[in-house]
Amino acid sequence: MENNKKISIEKIENMKNPCLIIIDMQEKLFPVIHNKEVLLNNIEILIKGFQLFDFPILVTEQVPHKLGKTIDPISSLFENFAPIVKSSFSCVGESKFISALDNLDSSDIVLVGIETHVCVYQTAMDLINKNKHVEVVTNGVASRNIENHNVSLSRMDKHGVFLNTVEMLLFSIQQKAEGERFRQLIKLLK
């Protein structure tokens, strides 16, 4: 596993078309999530950052007829909001998700959303098994219970998922402290 991480570390600096996947930020789940306001703020920054870089973003909803739609602060950031509805915990279990991901032709995946120990964890593991480079933004994922969150992050780290933070990820993509995009990025992160 250690050798794979060395190879992937180089890949982080060269992500050409990373895809941000926002998992299940829904009306009935969000209110019970630990540290939800920090989570929401960080996901909003990532969405705006990925839009600034013009990178693809996919959004999922877990059985929305039971858990509600994606919360307005997230859905309102998109011109044409079209979440992928799923019933499997892993996004990979939904054929529409796989089709959307295949159409993007991106092997670099960034995961955020809820819950860390269920849908995020299972999606990350399935994507690793599909030979994708997977980054989980630790301050962009959460669970109802902090212990579930922490244990799942530790387990993902041991299985080849790279743990990242909002700022670390966006600055890794930017690479240089110059240009208009850098100035806009700094405004997002303040």
pLDDT at residue 2 above 80? no
Residue 101 pLDDT more than 70? yes
Between residues 80 and 106, the one the model is more confident about: 80
Give 14 or 91, the one with higher predicted confidence.
91
Task: Quote the tokens at residue 19.
Answer: 């895809």
pTM for this predicted structure: 0.91
Distance CA 84, CA 132 (A): 20
The yes-or-no verdict on residue 159 having pLDDT over 80 is: yes
Please enumerate, as own/partner, the contacts of 143-148 that have beta carbons within 8 Å and a separation of 24 or more.
143/33, 143/34, 143/114, 143/115, 143/116, 143/117, 143/118, 144/32, 144/33, 144/34, 144/115, 145/34, 146/34, 146/35, 148/115, 148/116, 148/117
- The residues facing 142 across adjacent strands are 114
> Per-residue pLDDT tens for 30-80?
999 999 999 999 999 999 999 999 999 999 999 999 999 999 999 999 999
Query: Are the beta carbons of 140 and 42 closer than 8 angstroms?
Result: yes
Q: Is the pLDDT of residue 15 over 90?
A: no
- State whether residue 88 is helix, strand or coil: coil
Domain segments of the chain: what residues? 2-189
Q: What is the pLDDT of residue 190?
A: 84
Percent of the chain with pLDDT over 70: 93
Query: What does the mean pLDDT of the chain come to?
Result: 91
- What percent of the chain is modeled with pLDDT above 90? 80
Distance CA 66, CA 55 (A): 30
Q: Which CATH class is domain 2-189?
A: alpha beta
Q: Is the pLDDT of residue 17 over 90?
A: no
Task: State the average pLDDT over residues 83-107.
Answer: 93
Residue 14 pLDDT class (50, 70, 90 cuts): low
